[in-house]
């Protein structure tokens, strides 16, 4: 870095100043990367960035042309638009989007390999509200050998936090796995090496789409087995131990969504843990049904794969334990469920089901969409996602 900065400085292409006004007046773009350390309560200490925002605003007061301010420090979603913008507008007497543009472009370089990472980042993400600002940043960063994505300012802020959280999660997963391996005399490098060789399900975008809770006959059971194994060998795996409780919170969120509608009759479109199967074991939709029945709501269910007479073994036993009156809830046709319900919870991910449902919904229906129904905004009734 020192050599690079010295060379740039000698070439005359770079000047250094401690005067924000001088920097703003002599340039078109400001890249702002001051520190955002943790405050004692875990929040971000924004004092440096806010002091600087005031300086930049005062500098803008005396500038006749436009300017693009690009925040690159890692900051929480909403910081640029809700915290920084009012300061810059107040100090400049000018408006974001008119006289200047406030953008957020996360920085993906890592300490120790910063120059290499700068030259070859995973991607460029620009959060901006105006094309003019995006165009300026494309001129500056478009040559980098990576994709250039544009998004909202808030999403760009969130992406950076999520990237760091994901990296921390990956490290912790590898380390918890290593502790478990070690306790059983298994080579953790061999195990993690093999895990990383699966680029179909493991190192891929599989399982990384927001949706409803997971369930089924494998994931919950095997997580419980893992935690039991760890306990046997006095190993604590707090991250893995947190997975099932977090998954249950997602079911509770769906329950709260239904209760918030204040309606009393609910239709479930889908009951099995996964579309295209009749496997009801640990289905999060069965858990949802149990809780709604417990709250005194009336329920009806449509699932084209679930035929009670054909359920066998552990699958049959599970549903008999959890929804003993399932035979009185199941309907053969989707329109019967729609007619009997004020709220419809859609967990089946099936285009034909979406199309049929759209035909039978009434304007007074509330649809709770756990399956990400495409183009649901055009439906003739209220469609709510769980988190979207």
Ligand X SMILES: NC(=O)c1ccc[n+]([C@@H]2O[C@H](COP(=O)([O-])OP(=O)(O)OC[C@H]3O[C@@H](n4cnc5c(N)ncnc54)[C@H](O)[C@@H]3O)[C@@H](O)[C@H]2O)c1
Active site positions, annotated:
218
Instruction: Map the footprint of ligand X across residues 50-79, applying CB under 6 A.
Output: 51-52, 73-74
Q: Which is nearer to ligand X, 3 or 111 (CB)?
A: 111
Angular region, 94: left φ>0, alpha ψ -120 to 50, beta rest: beta
Segment interacting with ligand X (CB under 6 A) among 48-56, 268-276, 349-357, 363-371: 48-56
Q: Is the dihedral of CA 153, 157, 162, 164 positive or negative?
A: positive
| Chosen residue from 7, 8, 14, 33 binding ligand X by CB under 6 A | 33
What secondary structure does DSSP assign to 156-203, as a single string? HHHHHHHHHHHHHHHHHHHHHHHHHHHHTT--HHHHHHHHHH-TTTTS
Q: At what angle are helices 219-232 and 243-260 packed, to 10 degrees?
A: 140
Segment interacting with ligand X (CB under 6 A) among 34-42, 185-193, 205-213, 244-252: 34-42
Q: Does 376 bind ligand X (CB under 6 A)?
A: no
3-class state of residue 128 by DSSP: coil
Segment interacting with ligand X (CB under 6 A) among 104-112, 130-138, 166-174, 196-204: 104-112
Q: Which is nearer to ligand X, 112 or 324 (CB)?
A: 112
Q: 287 with 308: CB under 8 angstroms?
A: no
Segment interacting with ligand X (CB under 6 A) among 1-9, 109-117, 137-145, 168-176: 109-117
Q: Which is nearer to ligand X, 74 or 177 (CB)?
A: 74
Question: Which residue, 79, 58, 63, is CA-closest to 25?
Answer: 63
| Chosen residue from 111, 234, 359, 375 binding ligand X by CB under 6 A | 111
| Chosen residue from 15, 35, 187, 189 binding ligand X by CB under 6 A | 35
CB of 164 to ligand X, least distance (A): 8
Question: CA 64, CA 333: separation in Å to the nearest integer?
Answer: 67
List Cα–Cα distances, 68 to 12, 208, 215, 288, 365, in angstroms: 22, 34, 47, 49, 46
CB of 111 to ligand X, least distance (A): 4
CB of 128 to ligand X, least distance (A): 18
Question: CA 65, CA 53: separation in Å to the nearest integer?
Answer: 18
Burial degree of 93 (CB within 10 A; 0-12, 13-18, 19+): exposed
| Chosen residue from 50, 109, 243, 381 binding ligand X by CB under 6 A | 109
| Chosen residue from 90, 95, 110, 116 binding ligand X by CB under 6 A | 110
List Cα–Cα distances, 181 to 170, 173, 189, 242, 313, in angstroms: 16, 12, 9, 19, 33
Q: Which is nearer to ligand X, 54 or 195 (CB)?
A: 54
> Looking at the chain, how many residues does it have?
388
Q: Does 243 bind ligand X (CB under 6 A)?
A: no
Neighbours of 12 (CB within 10 A): 7
Instruction: Map the footprint of ligand X across residues 285-344, applying CB under 6 A.
Output: none
CB of 49 to ligand X, least distance (A): 8
Q: Which is nearer to ligand X, 46 or 357 (CB)?
A: 46
Angular region, 212: left φ>0, alpha ψ -120 to 50, beta rest: beta
Q: Does 36 bind ligand X (CB under 6 A)?
A: yes
Segment interacting with ligand X (CB under 6 A) among 102-110, 168-176, 192-200, 370-378: 102-110
346's enclosing H/E stretch is strand 343-346
Q: Does 15 bind ligand X (CB under 6 A)?
A: no
Q: Which is nearer to ligand X, 51 or 295 (CB)?
A: 51
- The residue count for binding ligand X (CB under 6 A) is 13
Q: Which is nearer to ligand X, 48 or 223 (CB)?
A: 48
Residues forming contacts to ligand X in the complex (CB under 6 A) are: 33-36, 48, 51-52, 73-74, 107, 109-111
């Amino acid at each position: 870095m020192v050599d690079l900065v010295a060379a740039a400085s000698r070439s005359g292409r770079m000047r250094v100043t401690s005067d924000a006004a001088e920097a703003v007046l002599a340039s078109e773009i400001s890249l702002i990367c001051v520190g955002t350390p943790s405050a004692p309560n875990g929040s971000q200490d924004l004092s440096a960035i806010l002091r600087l925002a005031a300086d930049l605003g005062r500098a803008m007061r005396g500038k006749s042309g436009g300017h693009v301010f690009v925040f690159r420090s890692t900051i929480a979603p909403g910081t640029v638009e809700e915290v920084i913008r009012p300061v810059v507008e107040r100090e400049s007497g000018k408006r974001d989007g008119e006289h200047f543009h406030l953008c957020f472009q996360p920085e993906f370089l890592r300490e120790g390999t910063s120059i290499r990472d700068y030259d070859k980042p995973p991607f460029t993400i620009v959060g901006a509200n105006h094309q003019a600002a995006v165009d300026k940043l494309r001129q500056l960063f478009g040559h980098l050998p990576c994709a250039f994505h544009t998004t909202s300012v808030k999403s760009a802020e969130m992406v950076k936090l999520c990237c760091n959280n994901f990296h921390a999660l990956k490290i912790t997963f590898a380390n918890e796995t290593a502790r478990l391996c070690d306790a059983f005399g298994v080579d953790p490098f061999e195990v993690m090496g093999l895990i990383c060789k699966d680029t179909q399900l493991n190192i891929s975008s599989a399982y990384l789409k927001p949706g409803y809770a997971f369930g089924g006959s494998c994931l919950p059971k095997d997580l419980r087995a893992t935690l039991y194994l760890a306990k046997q060998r006095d190993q604590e795996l707090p991250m893995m131990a947190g997975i099932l409780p977090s998954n249950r919170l997602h079911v509770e969120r769906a329950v709260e969504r239904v209760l918030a509608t204040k309606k009393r009759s609910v239709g479930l479109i889908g009951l099995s843990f996964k579309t295209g199967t009749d496997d009801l074991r640990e289905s999060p939709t069965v858990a949802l049904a149990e809780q709604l029945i417990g709250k005194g709501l009336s329920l009806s269910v449509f699932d084209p794969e679930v035929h009670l007479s054909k359920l066998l073994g552990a699958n049959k036993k599970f549903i008999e334990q959890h929804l003993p009156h399932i035979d009185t809830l199941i309907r053969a046709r989707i329109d019967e469920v729609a007619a009997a319900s004020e709220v419809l919870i859609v967990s089946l991910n099936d285009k034909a089901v979406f199309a049929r449902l759209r035909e039978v919904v009434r304007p007074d229906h509330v649809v709770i969409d756990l399956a990400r129904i495409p183009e649901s905004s055009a439906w003739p009734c209220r469609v709510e996602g769980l988190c979207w």
